[in-house]
Structure 1
Amino acid sequence: MQYYGFLLCNFLHFYFTINNHHAEEASKDSISYLEFLDKLLWAEIDAKRERTTTTNLKLAKFPYIKAIDSFDFDFQPSANQRKINELKTLAFVERSENVVFLGPPGVGKTHLAVGLAVCAIKSGYTAYFLSAHELISMIQENIVSGRIHRKLKTLNKPNILIIDEVGYAAMDDEVAHYFFQIVSNRYEKGSIILTSNKSYGSWGDVFGNNVVATAILDRLLHHSTTINIKGDSYRIREKKKAGFYDVSLYENESNDSNG
């Protein structure tokens, strides 16, 4: 009888039940058959959700796992906490809306993007993360191999597509065209979370074409929330704490980049 039960659990993919001793516990507690079944099914559902979450976190290809709750809003008061708490409800995912985090390097844009996506995965959604540099390389490689259209279709599948660090690398016309296709294909069908160190007015330089940049912004921002973070870098703060930070060097680098 015990072996028969094992086979049934295996057939139904009740792997949590196989590896636990619910029957023995139920016998000791003298609960009814219906109570036992209810307890068993909910335990199996919770176990399946946990396995799905673990799998989807791996498939998302995050550079690290971060939570919104670990973000230091006191250090970055310009990161609108009220807006971000609204985003944590995941209504934007349900409505296939977009989120854009703007700001200089090191202010926590990627942390917030990953944190929102992790929150979504734990609620049953799917996500996929890649940097703009990785996206550019992926587009170029698939153009050469002739599989670009097939590859673009895979980027339509996740509920959330995270594109990180847009603006650090310029795009040629062909890559910018396919970037537009990605945004257009997901328009009102799937959410995009994007981070950039460039203001919207500079996107013509990023995409090498003001017309393409305008078309991308038109679709990206139609249903979207923008969080503009204007604070200091976390990395610089940590260097200051450790005594490894040279203010004059940073100022020289900033002047060079602005010049």
Structure 2
Amino acid sequence: MVLEAERWLELRRFRALREAGASISEISRETGLHWRTVKKYLEDDGPVAPPIASPRRSRRGQVMDAYAHVVDEWLRAELLLKASVIHERLVEQYGFTGHYQRVKMYLQVARPKIAEELGYTPSELARLHRRFEVVPGAQAQVDWGDEGGILAHVGIAKVYSFHMVLSYSRDPFVCFTTSQDLATFWACHRRAFDHFGGVPGSIVYDRTKTVVRRHVAPGKAVPLHPEAVAFAGHYDFDPDVLAAYRPTGKGRVERQVTIVRDHVLAGRSFSGLADLDNAFLAWVPIRRRTTHRTHGEVIAVRARRDHAALRPIPSKPYLVAERHLRHVGKDCLVAFEANLYSVPATMVFHRQLVEVRASAATVSIHATVPDAGGITLLAVHPRAAGRGRRIVDPSHWNGLPDGHTRATTTSHETFPDHPDDELAVVRRRRVQPAGTLRYLLARAEAADVEVGRRPLSIYDQITGTGPFS
């Protein structure tokens, strides 16, 4: 195209030669152009116009044309589908051979068109969010991380990491658990408050079931879990539940999950949960010496201001417990989470309904109706780890038959009428544990009876079944 433009300028410059009487061949030799090209432009009646290059299709268009309708349908189903996902699906499902960048370039044109077709506004397409900053002590963010089978080699199938980050300083706290249940979730909060030395003014959560009682439509007030309300009221902080599908609202803690995996867990092996917790605590000084890229300060310097502004921790902890109703079995055991816990036999009856209150460390069993003294507690046990365990206090079976009065005898001796004498005879005649049935038969009186012996033919004669002669 550049060469054609240069030739066009040459034609304009030498057109005067044609008007002066120069032949086409002379102008061709002068300009270095083919005589047919000179003739084409100089014999035109109109003004000389620059040559227009024929439109050429880019290779990008050629590669994507065959898949454009497929990508458009995917965008209509999910407008914000990522280019990496589209490229992956094209390769897997359609044998696409083009580069990932080709898909990105196509999406720059196709996505706005599909958005306009679907009636999306620019704000809905961009999904922009407002960056916010907070004052010291005002906010923390909480999230879970799934660490999978990092302790599978010691028999722990699943490990989770609990994260809390102070929003002002980005000072982190992490502890590791085997459960995400209600009691464990709030027990991790107490550990985090002890780690920071105080309680933040508010804590940001997503819509986890340990905080939210149920999901509601957008724009509706979110009903909080009763234990979340009680715990927040006791420690004097405000639960801040994010809108659905807005992970950017707690990006500080989302980023922290990845940082801990990279700097604490990656490439290491651990012997248990305590070893994981210790590894994090050993890394905390290193993290606090780091200059954060967002606020530009050393985390430890900023964390001192953050910690000083936290609210005090109440002297009496609030212990969150899960509450469940269960029945007492005939064996005085109560089933909870596939484990069995004992209750006192003298205080319960079969099929009695009791309440199980499970905290992170203990399981307490209560009667649903208080006794005369107003007490409902029946038993307290350490919470079993895993499944299929029996946690039994032997004293809970006191008063139940244990079999120590059972006795056997082989004597036909007539017992005296007096109960005491009868008991004495039983004690004298009690058979001590023997190794075999033969020993018992040898001591039996029946063993001394003489048994008559007859030939088998006698029985044939009696029954008339003998052989015919």
* TM norm. shorter chain > 0.5: no
Provide TM-score, normalisation by structure 2: 0.20
TM-score normalised by the chain length of structure 1: 0.32
- Structure with the higher fraction of residues in helix conformation: 1
Rg (Cα) greater in structure: 2
